[in-house]
Amino acid sequence: MNALTPDEDLTKEDVAALILAAKKKAKLTWEGIADAIGMSPVFTHSACMGMNAFPVEKAEALAAHLGLPAGSAEVLAESPNKVFAQTVPTDPCIYRFYEVVGVYGPTLKALIHEKFGDGIMSAIDFDMKLEREASPKGDRVKITMSGKYLAFNTW
């Protein structure tokens, strides 16, 4: 990324890079950043990476907290494009999530349809949290997802 001045038009990718640099320089955590602006770490990271839009006041708080250049808050509040790679991920951690969806996706769909009817779980009206859970066999990653049920319209 080239050095940006406040007068240049920033993209979501530019702002994401600026956030990562500010986070690294200040030795911050996503949890600490989220706490500072009053949001969840999951949503904060996703919006910082351009996959969601911050409410204006949260975007302004984040930009101030990280010392981002002028125009950053506006970009953070813009609607996302949600463009991501359609190939099988090679990062081992991300691949495991891909594997979970590949193995359990049809099962979850079938169970959602049995319990709710023909529809989907929203990823827009959605909450998620990640926790560390102690276990005698080794610590576990606990992920809780909660999305609004959206019935398909029948015409």
Per-residue pLDDT reduced to its tens digit, 70-119: 999 999 999 998 877 789 999 999 999 999 999 999 899 999 999 999 99
Catalytic residue at 79? no
Domain residue extents for the chain: 12-77, 92-151
Q: pLDDT tier at 8 (50, 70, 90 boundaries)? A: low
Catalytic, out of 8, 13, 31, 99: 99
Catalytic residue at 135? no
Q: What is the pTM of this model?
A: 0.78
What DSSP character marks residue 39?
A: S
pLDDT reported for residue 106:
85
Closest to 21 (Cα-Cα) out of 84, 67, 81: 67
What DSSP character marks residue 118?
A: S
Per-residue pLDDT reduced to its tens digit, 50-60: 999 999 999 99
Catalytic, out of 31, 96, 140, 146: 96
- The domain made up of 92-151 has a fold known as Cyanate Lyase; Chain: A, domain 2 (3.30.1160)
d(CA 138, CA 133): 9
For the domain 12-77, what is the CATH code? 1.10.260.40
Fold agreement (12-77, 92-151) = no
Closest to 47 (Cα-Cα) out of 15, 69, 23: 15
